[in-house]
Chains A and B, each alone.
Chain A
């Protein structure tokens, strides 16, 4: 008798208490759901976008090196680099097209990232480093400026603050290899477009050197500021001369031969 009464109560709860309890229960479940979704969003942003972008960037590198054709053997030791005259400057590709590959040994022995044309989110969120369209191409007198994410979407410039003056940054295009030397970095406001000028931060100056300017967000996990890394072209060598000996292993690996 008692057991039967209890079962009845569970199956059909008294209406008034039941409505309140159900409302509180649904509310609680919705709040827990919202919390789980927020955690999932953070995981997606900080982890999954990197997984996705790494795959897309590896593919972009693979396609780019396939178009380059066979690789010339590595050039002689860097102690005595040959002079190949003024650098060849390529025509910029269309939006999203691959300009080349950047190698930065300071960011890791195997740091190999594609440089794509454009700085809109569709480029930066998938293809890695994006070239500011209104700036020069690699090797040209003026400023070759690229942007890259610091934390998400491949985190291509996560270690931008670890560069030490004198560090080499290698840009490989279809025409050759451009060796830049890191000079200094700077933290600016997101509105400081003068870092993209032909001579960074000097509106009236006429450029005589080739700069490489990299921009990323600052601080890490924030975007209140931008961190800028300035480098200057030291030398270049045509594709026929082969990759500089220092990055020969990385270049071969990017081609799937390493």
Chain B
């Protein structure tokens, strides 16, 4: 999969390495900005309130 993507990236080797690093960084930024905050509402280990169901 990643090999296939790497082979289909345009340009010389150094550009393809650079592009894949940028793509990986972009994926991490997207996850930190959107996926992880959304995911954290399903994890239990951050709830510190009492009776959080009835609290505003």
Contact = CB atoms under 8 A, between A and B. Distances in A.
Interface residues of A, number: 42
Contacts of B31: 37, 40-41, 44
Given A44-B36, A119-B56, A221 B1 contact: no
Q: Is the interface of A mostly helix, strand, loop or mixed?
A: mixed
A157 interface: yes
B1 A29 contact: yes
Contact of B48 (A37, A41, A118, A147): A147
A193 B50 contact: yes
A45 B44 CA distance: 12
Chain B contact-residue range equals: 20 to 34
Q: Is the interface of B mostly helix, strand, loop or mixed?
A: loop
Contacts of A149: 46, 48
Interface of A: 25-26, 29-30, 37, 40-41, 44-45, 48, 118-121, 124-125, 130, 132-133, 147-153, 157, 188, 190-193, 195-196, 215-217, 221-223, 226, 228
- Give the top 8 A-B pairs by smallest Cβ distance, nearest first: A193-B51, A217-B48, A147-B49, A216-B48, A223-B47, A29-B1, A44-B36, A26-B1
